[in-house]
Chain A
Amino acid sequence: MKRIYLHPLPVRIWHWIHAACITLLVITGVFIRYSEHFGIPLRTAVKAHNIVGIIVALDFLLWFGYYVFTGKIKIYFPTKEELLKQAIRQIRYYSYGIFVGEPNPFHPTPENKFNPLQKTAYLSIMLFLLPLQIFTGFLLLYPDEFREVIEFFGGIRVIDTIHVLLFFFFASFIIAHFYLATLGHTPLAHFKAMITGWEEEPEEHH
Chain B
Amino acid sequence: MKGNWLFRFLFILMVALPFVALGTVSYAIDNEECLECHGDPDFVKELPGGKTVSLYVDGKRFAQSVHGQNDVACTDCHADITELNYDNDVPHPAPTKPVDCSSCHEDEQEAYEQSVHGQARKEGDDEAPTCATCHNNYHYVKYMAGETAAQRSAGVCLNCHDPDEYHDWLPSAKRIHYKYTDCSVCHAKNSPKLTRLLFYNIFKEQVIPGEEVVKALSVDFDNFLQAVDKNGNGKIDSKELYFITKTLKAKGIKASITGEIVADMDPSVHAITKDAIKDCTQCHSVKSPILSNLFLTLTKADGEAENYPLNKEVLSSLYPIRFYLIDATRIKLLDIIGVLIVLGGIGFAGGHLTVRLLTIPLRRRKK
Binding-face segment, A17-25, A40-48, A64-72, A79-87: A40-48
Q: Is the CB of A157 within 8 A of B321?
A: yes
Q: Which residues of A contact B329 (CB under 8 A)?
A: 157
Task: Given A168-B341, A176-B349, answer yes or no on A144-B173 (Cβ-Cβ < 8 Å).
Answer: yes
> Residues of B contacting A175 with CB < 8 Å?
342, 345-346, 349
* A160: contacting residue among B174, B324, B348, B349, CB under 8 A: B324
For the complex, would chain A's binding face be called helix, strand, loop or mixed by DSSP majority?
A: helix
Question: B327 to chain A: which residues have CB within 8 Å?
Answer: 32-36, 42
- Of the candidate stretches B18-26, B103-111, B291-299, B353-361, the one touching chain A is B353-361
Q: Does B331 sit at the interface, judged by CB under 8 A?
A: yes
Q: Is the CB of A46 within 8 A of B345?
A: no
Q: How far is the CB of A40 from chain B (nearest CB, A)?
A: 11
| B345 and A42 form a contact (CB under 8 A) | no
- For the complex, give the distance between the alpha carbons of A171 and B324 in Å: 23
Q: Which of A36, A50, A101, A178 contacts B172 (CB 8 A)?
A: A50
Q: Is B322 an interface position by the 8 A CB rule? A: yes
B130 contacts chain A at the CB level, 8 A cutoff = no
Q: Is the CB of A157 within 8 A of B324?
A: yes
- The answer to whether A169 has its CB under 8 Å from any CB of chain B is yes
Q: Which one of A35, A47, A161 contacts B284 once the chains associate, using CB atoms below 8 Å? A: A35
Provided the pairs A172-B345, A175-B346, A175-B349 are in contact, do residues A151 and B324 lie with their beta carbons within 8 angstroms? no
A155 touches B322 (CB 8 A): yes
Cβ B320 vs Cβ A154 within 8 A: yes
What is the CB-to-nearest-CB distance from B131 to chain A, in angstroms, rounded to a whole number? 32
Asked whether any CB of chain A lies closer than 8 Å to the CB of B334, the reply is yes
- Shortest Cβ gap from A11 to chain B (Å): 24
* Contact A169-B341, Cβ < 8 Å, known A50-B172, A100-B366, A101-B366: yes
Give the CA-CA distance A174 to B173 in the complex, in Å.
29
- A98 is an interface residue with CB less than 8 A from chain B: yes
Please count the residue pairs between chain A and chain B whose beta carbons lie under 8 angstroms apart in the complex.
111
Given contacts A41-B280, A101-B363, contact A168 B342 (CB under 8 A): yes
The residue from A42, A165, A178 contacting B334, defined by CB atoms under 8 A apart = A165
CB-CB contacts of B282-323 with A at 8 A, as 1s and 0s? 001111000000000000000000000000000000001110
Asked if B52 CB lies within 8 Å of chain A CBs, one says no
- Tell whether A125 is near chain B: CB-to-CB under 8 Å: no
**Complex: how many Å from CA A173 to CA B346?**
9
Q: Is the CB of B338 within 8 A of A47?
A: no
Question: Taking CB as reference atom, which chain A residue is nearest B322?
Answer: A155
Residues of B contacting A168 with CB < 8 Å? 337-338, 341-342
Chain B residues lying within 8 Å of A169, measured Cβ to Cβ, are 341
A176 touches B173 (CB 8 A): no
B324 touches A144 (CB 8 A): no
What separation, in Å, do the CA atoms of A143 and B321 have in the docked complex? 15
Interface residue A158 (Cβ < 8 Å from any Cβ of B): yes
Which residues of the other chain, B, contact A157 by a CB distance below 8 angstroms? 320-322, 324, 329, 331
| A144-B285 Cα distance, complex, nearest whole Å | 21
Q: B281, B324, B331 — which one has the most chain A CB atoms within 10 A of its CB?
A: B324
* Residues of B contacting A128 in the complex (Cβ-Cβ under 8 angstroms): none
Asked if B249 is at the interface (CB within 8 A of a chain A CB), the reply is no
CB-CB under 8 A from B230, the residues of chain A are none
Q: How far is the CB of A125 from chain B (nearest CB, A)?
A: 14
> Is B234 on the interface with A (CB-CB < 8 A)?
no
Which residues of chain B have C-beta atoms less than 8 A from A176's C-beta? 345, 348-349
Alpha-carbon distance A142/B175, docked complex (angstroms): 9
Residues of chain B within 8 A of A98, CB atoms compared = 356
The CA of A32 and the CA of B324, in the complex, are separated in Å by 14
B172→A46 contact, CB < 8 A: yes
Q: Which residues of B contact A155 (CB under 8 A)?
A: 256, 320, 322
Cα distance A100–B361 in the bound complex, in angstroms: 9
Q: Which residues of A contact B175 (CB under 8 A)?
A: 144
Please judge, given known A-B contacts A99-B362, A144-B175, A179-B353, whether A42 and B342 are in contact too, CB under 8 Å: no
A127 beta carbon closer than 8 Å to chain B: no
CB distance from B286 to the nearest CB of A (A): 6
Chain A, residue nearest B288 (CB): A36
19 A-B residue pairs with Cβ-Cβ distance under 8 Å, sorted by A, are A33-B327, A33-B330, A35-B284, A36-B287, A42-B280, A43-B170, A43-B280, A100-B363, A100-B366, A142-B173, A144-B175, A155-B256, A155-B322, A157-B321, A157-B322, A164-B334, A165-B334, A167-B338, A176-B349
Task: List 4 extra interface pairs beyond A42-B327, A143-B173, CB under 8 A.
Answer: A42-B281, A155-B320, A164-B334, A176-B349
| 4 pairs of A and B residues whose beta carbons are closest in the complex | A172-B345, A179-B349, A168-B338, A101-B363
